[in-house]
């Protein structure tokens, strides 16, 4: 699968041309190094020009790209012995929200082999997988399962890693019937009280309460080309302009990019992606995320239970700014 976004097509086509010349050079024994070098320079300049000036809508498209690394990719790269835990203990399970236990890999620091709880949205890469994962949109069963694992982690003193990538919580009738709003609200309340370190990563889409239900963390990180918002750009456009095609305008107004979220104190760190995005440079993204997660977990391990709760409370309490207008 090689899905190419419209704005990145010129770079991708140029890279394909370079690959063809390299293959011709190897198979035919023709020296094409000068042409290849010239095209490489053009591709680098073009890539810099496109990817250093992405619009919020273009970043939204990148955040949704089906070839970006997903939760299980990051878990496989950074952790050992992942054991998935199923069920909310009320008769349901949810494949859109994956939970389990694992250990940090040995990298030569204090976190080597440290046990952690892992919770995150998982999307699919094709139609069959997306139906199984419900396109990353969790039902209340998923959020109750996540809360069960959070409480388990708290009992055993395990840090919690949350991976966020969802358009939003599932809005279907069955989800509403089983208490979607209550499940999200309870998770937000209970997460604020956890006495173990919690680090959340927005790795693609951070959509509304579906994201916040596993996002009340001591540290919230975002990949550079991810988005975090109270509503999707298309949903916002449908409400404000009665036209989902106005999504690009809404994306600009919502301030949903990682840079905007960092500026407004919504997240604590933006993890840089190689120019071209995580879907083109997966290995670099996996490595960068592992480095960031280990850094923040190690820092939070030095805090007491009381300090962790107070820090999390203060972090969300100070968000937002209000200016009083003069009277009269």
CA angle 179, 185, 191 (to 5 degrees): 130
Helices then strands (H, E): number in the chain?
14, 8
| Residue 281 token pair | 């440079």
| Residue 139 token pair | 């039902």
φ, ψ (nearest 5 deg) of residue 221: -115, 155
> Is pLDDT of 58 > 70?
yes
Contact by Cβ (8 Å): 213, 184? yes
- Is residue 120 within a helix (H) or strand (E), and if so which, with residue range? strand 115-121
Give the model confidence (pLDDT) of 205-247 as tens digits.
Answer: 998 899 999 999 999 999 999 999 999 999 999 999 999 999 9
CATH topology of domain 59-317: 2-enoyl-CoA Hydratase; Chain A, domain 1 (3.90.226)
- Is residue 116 within a helix (H) or strand (E), and if so which, with residue range? strand 115-121
Please state at what angle helix 56-63 crosses helix 247-254, rounded to 10 degrees.
Answer: 100
Q: How far apart are CA 238 and CA 228, in angstroms?
A: 18
Give the model confidence (pLDDT) of 278-322 as tens digits.
Answer: 999 999 999 999 999 999 999 999 999 999 999 999 999 888 766
Instruction: Give me the residue spans of the domains in the chain.
Output: 7-53, 59-317
């Amino acid at each position: 699968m090689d899905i190419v976004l419209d704005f990145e097509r010129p770079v991708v086509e140029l890279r394909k041309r370079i690959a063809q010349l390299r293959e011709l050079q190897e198979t035919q024994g023709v020296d094409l190094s000068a042409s290849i070098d010239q095209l490489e320079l053009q591709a680098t300049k073009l890539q810099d020009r496109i990817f250093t000036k992405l619009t919020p809508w273009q970043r939204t498209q990148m955040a949704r790209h089906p070839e970006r690394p997903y939760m299980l990719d990051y878990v496989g790269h950074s952790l050992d012995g992942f054991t998935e835990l199923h069920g909310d203990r009320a008769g349901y399970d949810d494949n859109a929200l994956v939970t389990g236990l694992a250990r940090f890999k040995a990298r030569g620091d204090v976190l080597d082999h440290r046990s952690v709880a892992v919770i995150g949205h998982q999307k699919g890469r094709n139609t069959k997988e997306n139906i199984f994962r419900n396109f990353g949109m969790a039902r209340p069963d998923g959020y109750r399962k996540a809360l069960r694992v959070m409480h388990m982690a708290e009992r055993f003193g395990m840090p919690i890693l949350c991976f966020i990538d969802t358009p939003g919580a599932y809005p279907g009738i069955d989800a509403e019937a089983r208490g979607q709003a209550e499940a999200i609200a309870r998770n937000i309340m209970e997460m604020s009280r956890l006495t173990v370190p919690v680090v959340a990563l927005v790795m693609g889409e951070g959509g509304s309460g579906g994201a916040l239900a596993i996002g009340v963390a001591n540290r919230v990180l975002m990949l550079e080309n991810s988005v975090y918002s109270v509503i999707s750009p298309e949903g916002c456009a449908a409400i404000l302009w009665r036209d989902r095609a106005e999504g690009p305008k809404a994306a600009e107004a919502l301030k949903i990019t990682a840079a905007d979220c960092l500026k407004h104190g919504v997240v604590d760190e933006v993890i840089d992606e190689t120019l071209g995005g995580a879907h083109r440079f997966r290995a670099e993204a996996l490595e960068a995320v592992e480095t960031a997660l280990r850094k923040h977990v190690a820092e939070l391990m030095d805090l007491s239970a009381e300090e962790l709760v107070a820090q999390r409370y203060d972090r969300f309490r100070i968000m937002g700014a209000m200016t009083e207008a003069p009277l009269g």
